[in-house]
Structure 1
Amino acid sequence: MSNPVQPIIIKKVKKAAHAHHGGAWKIAYADFVTAMMAFFLLMWLISMTTQEQKIGLAEYFAPTAVSPSTSGAGGMLWGTALDTSGSKSSAPRDAAMGPTKEDGARQANSGRTSDREVNRPAAREQDNQSAIASLRQALQNMPEIAELSRNIMIEPTKEGVNVSLMDQDGRSMFAEGSVQPHERTRRVLAAIAPTLRRLPNRLSVTGHTAAARPGSERGVDPWSLTAGRALAVREILSVAGLPNDRFISVVGRADTEPVFPDNPYLSPNRRVAITLLNEAPPLPPSAFR
């Protein structure tokens, strides 16, 4: 008797696919790597820039329209109120008499004076911003002096508007130890002279220099050097058409007023500042006739 044939049984095991976990982690990881790269790039840029470059960047991104004061006078209304009731007298008045002509004139004059006092800071700031824009435009019209952009700083101050011609590492505005300006300095002054001539402000020219490093010898007296450079700038502007009565002062400050007090040896401390003063120019004698 023969054995029965055993059937061959083949088992096929199906492997279940792994669950899909999604790719959100990849996006998060890519954002993290990008942020870290940007952070290290920022740290590298900060370590490579000089102190004056950091200050220049900070001034570039600083808002100029924000009032530095936290008082009510620095707000939208410059300290004025919306009340239109006018000034009130503490002295008793007969109601039957009513206001006199003198009272009306006094109140009108008082109102005009108050309006001038209130609007003066806003008008002055607007005039300064307009002067800054005009001076920058005059320099932009001369592409041949574009390389001097770091040597020229135009900024508003409490006195008015400052135009500073300052030295930088590798590029100076005056010959070393001399009161004679370089030709590039003369071109800058010639570029801004027509704008200065059109503006009504009186001018103050001030020379500054950097402090001498300990142990170094200084051949020229810093007071004579800075005063001579300020006089040279005034002379160039005068030849360019600015009358003598537009200058209120021409002085030298030596190294007493550095731009960077924490490092008075830096080259930008060597500069000549032309200040457009906020005060109005004097009226000519013919105006009183």
Structure 2
Amino acid sequence: MALKETKQPIIIKRVRKPGGHHGGAWKIAFADFATAMMAFFMLLWILTSSTENQKAAIAEYFNNPSAFMGIAASPSQAQGEGTGSKPMIIDFKGAVDTGPPQPLTPEQIDELAHAQDAARLAVLKKIIEDKIKESETLSPYKDQLLIDIVTEGLRIQIVDQENRPMFDLGSAKLKEYTRAILHELAGLINQVPNRISITGHTDARPLGGILYSNWELSTDRANAARRALSEGGMQPDKVSRVVGLASTVPFDRNDPNNPINRRINIIVLTREADAAIHREAGQLTAVPSVSAH
């Protein structure tokens, strides 16, 4: 009697895992880059603080590490290779003991800090540019988001267009899409320890009043942007300065009434620029003592 054939269905389960540019993979890449930069700066510090003899000893370790552990050299290595000493134990005869490594000078520390700032802001610029391309919130407004490196740091400009303003006309009330843009930027700004400066700009059209002019409007708009960034999760201690410049620094110098002159500038400050702001504020608020006569 023939055996009855039985067929069982084969079920294949496919699990889709989110990832790619919509996941958090870029954070890992950024962390790896930061770790590599720290290792690079440590290497620079070692090279600048070590003597020639110490560098030669380090090189010998990589050429013949067994000599540092009291192990005989491998048969393929002839006796005396490397420094010329027996391959049993490293010979430091002739090396001058210069004591502990010399500390970095203030100039060297400033150079390292400047290089670290530049590298950090360059990475943040790339992250923001990629986010603008990928994000459903930011990509429709890519023509209104201008990113560049300036002397003070990384500048993010959100500019007006004739048919797409950031605020209600003559008001500091944010459009909903402007608020969404600022919420997206808040999380990106948190990726670096640098503080920020927020500046409001208007065009040259007068508001028609004395008590409330473009000076007040530009300042109120800068503060509205600050509040939106905080709502988006930006750390509260990130803000170094909030100012309004009215129409004194137009984007389009040939046309003071061009809508592009109405803009919010967010600058992720370098360490030097942040320190300069606080030095200037301290000098302005300092009250000279008056001696009694």
- Taking structure 2 as the reference length, the TM-score comes to 0.55
Kindly indicate whether residue 268 of structure 2 is the aligned counterpart of residue 266 of structure 1: no
- How many pairs are equivalent? 181
Kindly indicate whether residue 127 of structure 2 is the aligned counterpart of residue 134 of structure 1: yes
| Greater gyration radius | 1
**Which letter does structure 2 place at the counterpart of 1:149?**
K
Q: Report the CA distance between 1:100 and its aligned residue.
A: 8.7
Q: Report the CA distance between 1:252 and its aligned residue.
A: 0.8
Matched residue, 1:147: 140
Cα pair 2:183 2:233 within 8 Å, conserved: no
Residue correspondence of structure 1 range 272-287 to structure 2 within 5 A: 272-279=264-271
**Which letter does structure 2 place at the counterpart of 1:279?**
R
Matched residue, 2:242: 250
Kindly indicate whether residue 208 of structure 2 is the aligned counterpart of residue 218 of structure 1: yes
Runs of 4+ displaced beyond 4 Å: none
Match of 1:265, SS state, is: coil
Distance 2:164 2:176 in 1: 12
Kindly indicate whether residue 185 of structure 2 is the aligned counterpart of residue 175 of structure 1: no
Distance 1:247 1:217 in 2: 28
Distance 1:258 1:157 in 2: 16
- CA RMSD of the aligned region, Å? 2.9
**Which letter does structure 1 place at the counterpart of 2:208?**
R
1:206-254 CA distances to partner (integer Å, 9 max, x unpaired)?
1011112xxx763551011011111111111112222321111111111
Cα pair 2:145 2:159 within 8 Å, conserved: yes
Distance 1:270 1:258 in 2: 8
Match of 1:204, SS state, is: strand
Q: Report the CA distance between 1:136 and its aligned residue.
A: 2.0
Distance 1:235 1:144 in 2: 19
Distance 2:207 2:175 in 1: 23
**Where in structure 1 are there 5+ consecutive unaligned residues?**
1-80, 86-98, 283-289
Matched residue, 1:232: 224
Q: Report the CA distance between 1:109 and its aligned residue.
A: 1.1
Match of 1:178, SS state, is: coil
**Where in structure 2 are there 5+ consecutive unaligned residues?**
1-47, 53-95, 276-293
Match of 1:198, SS state, is: coil
Distance 1:179 1:197 in 2: 25
Q: Report the CA distance between 1:138 and its aligned residue.
A: 2.6
Cα pair 1:207 1:272 within 8 Å, conserved: yes
1:189-218 CA distances to partner (integer Å, 9 max, x unpaired)?
111111112221111111011112xxx763
Give 2:191's match in structure 1, choosing from 189, 198, 213. Answer: 198
Kindly indicate whether residue 166 of structure 2 is the aligned counterpart of residue 163 of structure 1: no
Distance 1:230 1:223 in 2: 11
Percentage of pairs with the same residue: 28
Distance 1:210 1:234 in 2: 20
Match of 1:255, SS state, is: coil
Kindly indicate whether residue 103 of structure 2 is the aligned counterpart of residue 109 of structure 1: yes
**Which letter does structure 1 place at the counterpart of 2:271?**
E
**Which letter does structure 2 place at the counterpart of 1:154?**
I
